[in-house]
Homo-oligomer: A and B are copies of this chain.
Amino acid sequence: MRYSHQRERIFRAVSERCDHPTANMVYEQLKVEMPRLSLGTVYRNLNQLADAGRLKKIPLADGSCRFDKTKESHSHIVCDECGAVSDVHLPSFESFEQAIESETGYELRTYDVVLRGVCKDCRACMDQQAG
């Protein structure tokens, strides 16, 4: 994979933020400083970076994709109200793997565990409105 200025900026953008941005969020951020950048380029490069193992792609159930600077296997929790995506540590999820493989006959490759709920901020908002 040959060097490109755009790709490195896209990589840095994801690496420097903790909110698991979408392609469009990266595009909106970068186009301020790079007015000629196109959304297609962002998508293409994010996927290339994920294929190359420099980023992790997290496809969510709503059809959108998030990109993650953390490459190691870990789980996520999504706020149903504001859409925020946060990391969550699932203790000893790995211990299930053996049992699952023998129960299902599947050879397990990956697991993308996405929990859903309401974040602290949104709970506060909702309580205020209700109260």
A: residues with CB less than 8 A from B are: 59-63, 77, 79-80, 86, 88-91, 96, 99-101, 103-120, 123
Contacts and interface: CB of A to CB of B under 8 A. Distances in A.
Q: How many copies does the complex hold?
A: 2
Nearest to A108: B117
Contacts of A109: 80, 116-118
B80 A90 contact: no
Given A107-B123, A108-B117, A111-B113, 9 more contacts: A60-B61, A79-B106, A100-B115, A104-B117, A106-B117, A108-B115, A108-B116, A109-B116, A113-B114
18 contacts: A59-B61, A60-B61, A63-B63, A77-B104, A79-B106, A104-B117, A106-B117, A106-B120, A107-B117, A107-B123, A108-B117, A109-B117, A110-B116, A110-B117, A111-B113, A111-B116, A112-B116, A113-B114
